[in-house]
Amino acid sequence: MKALHKNIYRLSKVFLLLPVVAGLGRATSWGLPIKLNFTGVHCEHVIPLSELGSGLPTDWTPYEYLVLEFRASSSQRFDLGLKTDTGNLLHRIGPFPNVWVRASIPLRYYRKAPGAAYDMAATYNQPRNSYWINIHSGKFGPTTNVQGLVIRMDYPVGNPSLEIRSVRLAKEDPGDDILEKKPIVDEFGQYIHVDWPGKAKSLAALKNQWAQEEEHLRSILPTNRCPYGGFLGTTANATGFFRVEKINGRWWFICPDGHLFFSVGVNGVRPSSPTRVEGRMDYFEKLPPNLEADSPGRGGQMKSFYTWNVYRRFGVDWQAKWAELNTLRLQAWRFNTMHNWGIPSPGEPNAKVPRAAMLRAWQLGKSIMGMPDVYADDFEARVDSIVAQQLAPFKDDPWMIGYFIGNEPPWPGQESRFCEEVLAGPPTKMQTRLKEFLANGDTPARRKQFVIETFNRYLQVICAATKKYAPNHLNLGIRFGGIPHEEVLREAQIFDVVSINIYSYAPSRKALDRIYSITQRPILIGEFHIGAFERGMAPGLVQAMNQHERGVAYRYYVEQAAAHPAVLGTHWFQWIDQPATGRFDGENYNIGFIDVTDRPYQELVQAAIITHDRIYKVHAGEIPPFDTLPRASEAGHAAE
């Protein structure tokens, strides 16, 4: 997934709010156990170290773990920080609600930045058994003078609380666990200790709802779209493949039949949403049987409750029937693009849906922060071979819009760190080049220049191979995780389309203007989402108050983006909810159009249909975009 962006929850540098502790009747003395309540827009509690238990030292250097026992009333994420003399070191915690857990938090997450990985999610998401932590949301520093804990929640909904009954330090990992109320996930993959309207109680009730959905979908298919999803009644030069064109000052995709096409897409349209079960078997009421979607993943043995529910819906022919149903869903809901992770090959049942795919594999060797050794003797030959192999099935496929050549590289803005990683690593051609380059001066500016030149070579080689083997398809660029700095954007001029993942309530008009002024290329938003927390899952990177407000947020984001002349598509992340117990890296977001029981979120679907029916006129400038801000909580509307 996915990009993790600092601009979603802005962290204050100075914390002044004094806490009021529910049930204790005093604000200046704590003592354990404690219960914190969260209200307002940004709610923060600072707990002095002296009140957290006898014997806790201020110097935590000899220790490796902060061990807490806590119970959260909500799955809303909160920031857990250390108050030190160098500032507050805050990182984001994703709790399992309404159960007591032991969370053994590695203190290395607070002391120094994580090791470099191939993309932003792999760098910053850290799964644990009874919670997960994202370490992109704060700074790092020494733990030599810890003065207390800082606990903060943005946009709390429904007056959530956090109870803490134990705080201690450990030199060895005591392990994470759920301390009561096991299991926490039922046979359908739903979180047990939260209830909501429509929660599945039986397979018979599910089957009845599944049958009703299929009948409804066929009755709402649009009549004003061509087979590719382009707008009937519009014309441009038809080439038999997708291309881009600027018409009357506005950028459009042009479909193979020559119709104007605004890409409203979804990431991850696939019949699988696995969670790690290894080491957590007692968290689950009943595990699914072995199916094709089960695999030994990055976090150990994985199981997909979603896949098992699809199997129970369709039987042994579940894969073909699932593909048929979801093609119908996409068409009925006016989506016209499948984006990454689940892209079918020509001839598969759902192959006749326009799609955009990720090219991979030239980073399989030793890469640093997503950058391979582009100076290696075999780099060009290896790229040529890998690109040829990946593109061969789609060479003459008119349904393929184009390809992405990278995903959320973590190095933009961290060029000096990138160079440090290269210099500290084993001998490589890239290391030799860097040493030669820095011999003429080692400054941050020189390091940045080297990385940009390296990035340029990376792009030249990969883009040349892509053009060689896919002359009929578009180069959709690198899906940047947020808006990179100007030097990186200048290099993006080599692409046909600039793709950027922007997680916010709407992309900034000023930011879009800047991207376009530098690149002079049309813009595709590769990822965005808005989630809620009502079903035991976290709300994702951007929060709405409830399912209704998710629909409001979808309309606001997509129409505000489409109103920009350079934007020619928005792609939601993702089709299916993440598992309640987290995917491979711990993320457990309520961000799907479909839940784990294979039922749509109707509030979100209906909002999407309304916006998709308006999208041509919005992008053409004929009508204004939807302008109602979504509510993030009872405290008010979301603010950028």
Q: How confident is the model at residue 26 (pLDDT cuts 50, 70, 90)?
A: very low
Following DSSP, what letter does each residue of 432-452 receive, concatenated?
Answer: HHHHHHHTT---HHHHHHHHH
Give the Cα separation of 532 and 241 in Å (integer): 38
Work out whether strand 474-475 and strand 400-404 pair parallel, antiparallel, or are unpaired.
Answer: parallel
Question: Average pLDDT in the 44-49 region?
Answer: 94
Q: What is the pLDDT of residue 5?
A: 37
State percent of the chain over pLDDT 90: 77
What are the CA-CA distances from residue 527 to residues 73, 216, 268, 542, 571 (Å)?
30, 29, 11, 12, 5
Identify the three-state secondary structure at position 232.
Answer: coil
Task: Report the C-alpha gap between 146 and 56 in whole angstroms.
Answer: 10
Nearest of 52, 39, 131, 113 to residue 588 by alpha carbon: 131
Angle at 159 between CA 156 and CA 161, to 5 degrees: 95
What percent of the chain has a predicted confidence (pLDDT) above 70? Answer: 89
Flag whether pLDDT at 293 surpasses 90: no
Question: For the stretch 340-367, what's the b/e string if a residue is b when 16 or more beta carbons lie within 10 angstroms of its beta carbon?
Answer: bbbbbeeeeebbebbbbbbbeebbeeeb
Q: How much is the average pLDDT of 558-569? A: 99
Cα Rg of the chain (Å, integer): 25
pLDDT at 282: 95
By mean pLDDT, which of 173-187, 307-321, 330-344 is the weakest? 330-344
Question: Would you call 84 helix, strand, or coil by DSSP?
Answer: strand
Distance, in Å, from the CA atom of 242 to the CA atom of 460, rounded to the nearest integer, reads 23
| Every domain range in the chain assigned CATH 3.20.20.80 | 213-223+267-411+455-637
Give residue-wise pLDDT tens across range 567-604. Answer: 999 999 999 999 999 988 889 999 999 999 999 999 99
- Taking the model in full, what pTM does it have? 0.92
Fold (CATH) for 34-178: Jelly Rolls (2.60.120)
| pLDDT at site 586 | 83
CB-CB contact of 481 with 5 (8 Å)? yes
Strand partners, 164: 34, 70
Per-residue DSSP letter, 50: G
Question: Which residues, other chains included, contact 393 with Cβ-Cβ below 8 Å and sequence gap of 6+?
Answer: 345, 346
- Dump pLDDT digits (tens) for 458-486: 999 999 999 999 999 999 999 999 999 99
What is residue 2's predicted lDDT score, i.e. its pLDDT? 43
Q: Per CATH, the architecture of 213-223+267-411+455-637 is what?
A: Alpha-Beta Barrel (3.20)
The size of the chain, in residues, is 640
Chain region(s) in the chain for CATH 2.60.120.430: 34-178
CB atoms inside a 10 Å sphere around CB 252:
27
Q: Is the pLDDT of residue 3 over 60?
A: no
Checking 283-292 for CB contacts under 8 A at 24+ apart, the result is 283/178, 283/182, 283/183, 283/184, 283/185, 283/581, 284/183, 284/184, 284/185, 284/581, 285/183, 285/185, 285/186, 285/187, 285/192, 286/186, 286/187, 292/319
What whole-number distance in Å separates Cα of residue 261 and Cα of residue 507?
A: 20
Residue 129's contacts (CB-CB under 8 Å, 6 or more residues apart) are: 175, 176, 177, 279, 280
The model's confidence at residue 122, banded by pLDDT at 50, 70 and 90, is low
Is the pLDDT at 11 greater than 60? The verdict is no
For tokens 């509307």, the residue is 637
- In the block, tokens 């990385």 appear at 451
| Of 228, 476, 262, 478, the residue nearest 353 (C-alpha) | 228
Mean pLDDT, the chain, rounded, equals 90
Across-strand partners of 473?
A: none
Whole-angstrom distance, CA of residue 591 vs CA of residue 542: 10
| pLDDT confidence of residue 636 | 79
| Choice among 111-115, 230-234, 327-331, 497-501 with the minimum mean pLDDT | 111-115
CB 75 within 8 A of CB 184: no
